[in-house]
Chains A and B, each alone.
Chain A
Amino acid sequence: MDMDEVLKTFIAESQELLLQMEDALLQLEHTPGDADTINAIFRAAHTIKGSAGLFGLDLIVAFTHIAESVLDRVRSNELQFNAELTALFLQVGDHLARLIALVDAGADLNTLEVEVQATHETLSEQLSYYLAPATAAKPVASQPTRIERGNASGLSADHWHLSLRFGPDTLRNGMDPLGLFRYLNTFGRIVSIVPLLDRLPSAAEMDPETCYLGFEIAFASDADKATIDGTFEFVREDSLIRILPPHSKSDEYLELIRTLPEEDMRLGEILMRCGTLTAAELQEVLLAQVEGQQRDEAQPIGQVLMEQSLVQAPVIAAALQKQQQIKDNRSNENSLIRVDANKLDKLIDLVGELIIAGAGARMTAKNCGHSEMLEATELLSRLVEEVRDSALPLRMVQIGATFNRFQRVVRDVSKEIGKDISLSISGGETELDKSVVERMGDPLTHLVRNAMDHGIESLQTRQANGKPAQGNVCLNACHDGGNIIIEVTDDGGGLDPQRILAKARERGLVSDSQTLTEQEIFNLIFEPGFSTADQVSNLSGRGVGMDVVKRNISALRGTIELSSTLGQGTRVRIRLPLTLAIIDGFLVNVGQAGYVIPLEQVEECIELHSDSAITRGHLELHGQMLPVVRLRELFDDDSTPPRRESVVVVQQGGLRAGLVVDQLVGEFQTVIKPLGKVFAACRVLGGFTILGDGSVALILDIPRLLTQLAAPRSAVPFETKQSYAHE
Chain B
Amino acid sequence: MSSASAENLYRILPLEGSLSIYSATEHMGLLLQVLAPDAEVELDLSAIDELDCAGLQLLVLAKQEAGRIGCHLRLSNHSPAVIEAFELSGLGTFFGDPILIKPASE
CB-based contact B28/A215 at 8 Å:
no
Interchain CA distance A182-B84 in the complex, whole Å: 10
Interchain CA distance A209-B54 in the complex, whole Å: 6
How many residue-residue contacts, CB under 8 A, span A and B?
82
Report which of A193, A194, A198, A211 forms a contact with B53, defined as CB distance below 8 A. Answer: A211
Interchain CA distance A576-B106 in the complex, whole Å: 70
Nearest neighbor of A199 in chain B, beta-carbon distance = B104
The interface residues of chain B lying within 8 Å CB-to-CB of A178 are 52-53, 56, 85, 88-89
Nearest neighbor of A212 in chain B, beta-carbon distance = B57
Interface residues, chain A, with chain B CB atoms under 8 Å away: 1, 166, 170-172, 176-179, 181-182, 190, 192-195, 197-198, 200, 202-203, 206, 208-209, 211-213, 215
CB-based contact A203/B90 at 8 Å:
no
Interchain CA distance A172-B25 in the complex, whole Å: 12
Subset of 13 A-B contacts with CB under 8 Å: A170-B53, A177-B53, A178-B85, A178-B88, A193-B89, A194-B90, A195-B91, A195-B94, A195-B101, A200-B60, A202-B68, A208-B24, A215-B89
The interface residues of chain B lying within 8 Å CB-to-CB of A171 are 21, 24, 52-54
Is B32 in contact with chain A by the CB < 8 A criterion?
A: yes
Interface residues, chain B, with chain A CB atoms under 8 Å away: 20-21, 24-25, 27-28, 32, 52-54, 56-58, 60-61, 64-65, 68, 85, 88-91, 94, 101, 103-104, 106
The interface residues of chain A lying within 8 Å CB-to-CB of B24 are 171, 208-209
Report which of A172, A182, A213, A215 forms a contact with B57, defined as CB distance below 8 A. Answer: A213
CB-based contact A1/B60 at 8 Å:
no
Interchain CA distance A166-B85 in the complex, whole Å: 17
The interface residues of chain A lying within 8 Å CB-to-CB of B21 are 1, 171-172, 176, 209
Known: A197-B104, A202-B65. A208 touches B90 (CB 8 A): no
- Shortest C-beta distance, B84 to chain A (Å), equals 8
- Shortest C-beta distance, B106 to chain A (Å), equals 6
- Shortest C-beta distance, B32 to chain A (Å), equals 6
Nearest neighbor of B29 in chain A, beta-carbon distance = A208
The interface residues of chain A lying within 8 Å CB-to-CB of B20 are 176
The interface residues of chain A lying within 8 Å CB-to-CB of B28 are 203, 206, 208
CB-based contact B101/A208 at 8 Å:
no
CB-based contact A197/B90 at 8 Å:
no
Query: Which of A179, A197, A202 neighbours the largest number of chain B CB atoms within 10 Å of its CB?
Result: A197
CB-based contact A208/B54 at 8 Å:
yes
The interface residues of chain A lying within 8 Å CB-to-CB of B106 are 202
Interchain CA distance A177-B85 in the complex, whole Å: 10
Known: A171-B21, A208-B27. A193 touches B65 (CB 8 A): no
Apart from A177-B89, A179-B52, A212-B57, what 16 extra A-B contacts exist at CB < 8 Å? A171-B24, A171-B54, A172-B21, A176-B21, A181-B88, A195-B90, A197-B94, A198-B104, A200-B103, A202-B64, A203-B32, A208-B25, A209-B24, A209-B54, A211-B54, A215-B89
Interchain CA distance A276-B27 in the complex, whole Å: 36
Known: A178-B52, A194-B101. A211 touches B57 (CB 8 A): yes
Interchain CA distance A179-B89 in the complex, whole Å: 10
- Shortest C-beta distance, A116 to chain B (Å), equals 26
Report which of B58, B90, B103 forms a contact with A192, defined as CB distance below 8 A. Answer: B90
Interchain CA distance A181-B103 in the complex, whole Å: 22
Interchain CA distance A40-B106 in the complex, whole Å: 51
